[in-house]
Amino acid sequence: MSFDFHLEIGEECSFAKTVSESDVYMFAGLTGDLSVVHCNEQYMQNTAFGRRIAHGVLVVGLMSTAASVMYSPKVEKYTTHTPVSLGYDRIRFIGPVFFGDTVTIKYRIAKMDPVKVEAHAEVEAINQHGAVVAVAVHRLRWVPVSTAKAA
């Protein structure tokens, strides 16, 4: 019996958000990452960036939101398995995300492995100017309900 992913290779979705100063400061407070590159405008004026930049991991958080946009409408179809994120591979921060940038996450199913009951998605974060600012591969696995309850 093969697992029904309720997905197609090439299926995609997107999610967009304007990254605000408050987003960055709440993230900094939550994580404790108060680096000058995120929180000191005066310091950053004298750098190659010229102004503060958002945390790269905040952008990965937006990637996670896009994954939820993809899988949440299908979750009721997974009665024998629970979809869980295994993480993000090959994350690269290609360009800065400045306060006020609108970042669009494009999430596309690239591979499905019926043996591992796993899907891989190619993820891109693109700013309002069309520049790719981050990329990753998201791995999602469907865990059998009986296994999850035993843990």
The full DSSP string for 3-31 is: ---S--TT-EEEEEEE--HHHHHHHHHHH
Question: 12-19+54-150, what's its fold?
Answer: Thiol Ester Dehydrase; Chain A (3.10.129)
Q: Which string of b and e fits 56-67 if b means at least 16 CB within 10 Å?
A: bebbbebbbebb
pLDDT tens across 19-37, in order?
Answer: 999 999 999 999 999 999 9
Q: How far apart are CA 22 and CA 122, in angstroms?
A: 28
DSSP H or E segment with residue 78: none
Question: Which among 27, 36, 12 has a CA at the least distance from the CA of 60?
Answer: 27
In the chain, the percentage of residues whose pLDDT exceeds 90 is 85
Q: How far apart are CA 51 and CA 95, in angstroms?
A: 13
Segments making up each domain of the chain, as ranges = 12-19+54-150
Q: How far apart are CA 41 and CA 107, in angstroms?
A: 32
In the chain the first and final C-alpha atoms are separated, in Å, by 25
pTM to 2 decimals?
A: 0.91
User: Which residues in the chain show pLDDT less than 50?
Assistant: none
Q: What is the pLDDT of residue 2?
A: 75
Cβ neighbours, 10 Å, residue 34: 11
pLDDT tens across 44-55, in order?
Answer: 999 999 999 999
pLDDT tens across 5-19, in order?
Answer: 899 999 999 999 999
